[in-house]
Amino acid sequence: GNGRIKLPKIGWLGYRKSQEVLGEAKNVTISESCGKWFVAVQTEREVETPLHRSTSVVGLDWGVVRLYTLSNGEYREQCQPLKRCLPKLAKLQRRMAQKIKFSHNWKKAKAGIARLHQRIANIRKEFLHRSSNEISKNHAVVFVEDLQVRKMCKSSKGTKDQPGKQVAQKSGLNRAILDGSPFELRRQLQYKTEWRGGLFYAVPPQNTSRTCPVVWGGCGQVSADNRKTQAKFVCLKCGLSANADFISAVNIREAGLASLACSQPSHAVSASWQEPTEGIHRLGVEPVGIPGL
């Protein structure tokens, strides 16, 4: 519904009330994006220590084709909003290139490109929120790979003396990785799992996709030849065959459980160990179809 808010030196303003503002308001931040204005209200309140309603433990493997694959077999395909909008984006960029720089028509074309980029970001954000909500609600403990996205997306151009190889293919792969936003999915999963009283933990990614999982009837062999293709895992020793992302998710789960059994990991964070003191609410555009944000 609609609401009103009183701002210092401005007075009363109407806004789209996307959610209830709980607690005592401490400060307000106003921002603008592509001609749309937003107000973020930071509040302070006491909350009870959350207790997760589930007891499920899963490992999660992020991929380029699949957004994620869970150790229980569930998976979700990538949304790829940038890839779907690339033809329209190229058309708008060509149109802007034909205008006189800083002219009125050039500014209009530039604003059109900004609106398209905003739409791409909104599609991606909604898709990631839907996915992270589903996982954090249904699983109390979530293990992920501690991926270094910046290193994964490093350019392969090389130098003038030592030029890189397969630069175009690597550029396309980098675009696909960034279009999937793996770190944003991890960030959302972490705070939502903690909010609900669960545990979020990142494990080292070494050999998660090369190890034949013993827990799933495998032999435990570690070899790069076990995964000769991106999608298929075939153990050379025992012949175990399955989807490579699923095998990786199973190994991530087992590695996380082993770490928890040995000692309490320093980079695992549980909501029950933290003092929840403040909450930030962003108001302006209602997140239609994204429950529980």
On the 0-12 / 13-18 / 19+ scale of CB atoms within 10 A, 226 is buried
Q: Are the C-beta atoms of residues 239 and 212 closer than 8 Å to each other? A: no
Helical axes 104-138 vs 182-195, angle rounded to 10°: 50
The active-site residue out of 179, 194, 245, 254 is 245
Please confirm, yes or no, whether 245 is among the known catalytic residues. Answer: yes
What are 13's two structure tokens?
A: 């303003």
Q: Are the C-beta atoms of residues 113 and 96 closer than 8 Å to each other? A: yes
Please confirm, yes or no, whether 61 is among the known catalytic residues. Answer: yes
Contacts of 142 (CB under 8 A, 6+ apart): 58, 60, 135, 136, 189, 193, 198, 199, 200, 201
The active-site residue out of 61, 179, 194, 254 is 61
What are 157's two structure tokens?
A: 């151009």
Report which of 53, 57, 191 is spatially closest to residue 132, judged by C-alpha positions.
191
Report which of 136, 153, 162, 125 is spatially closest to residue 56, judged by C-alpha positions.
136
Please report how many Cα atoms fall inside a 13 Å half-sphere around the Cα of residue 15, on the Cβ side. Answer: 24
Tokens 């964070």 — which residue? 269
DSSP assignment of 107-164 = HHHHHHHHHHHHHHHHHHHHHHHHHHHHHHHH-SEEEEE---HHHHT----B-SSSB-
Contacts of 56 (CB under 8 A, 6+ apart): 72, 138, 139, 140, 141
The active-site residue out of 74, 145, 184, 254 is 145
> So which residues are the catalytic ones?
61, 145, 245
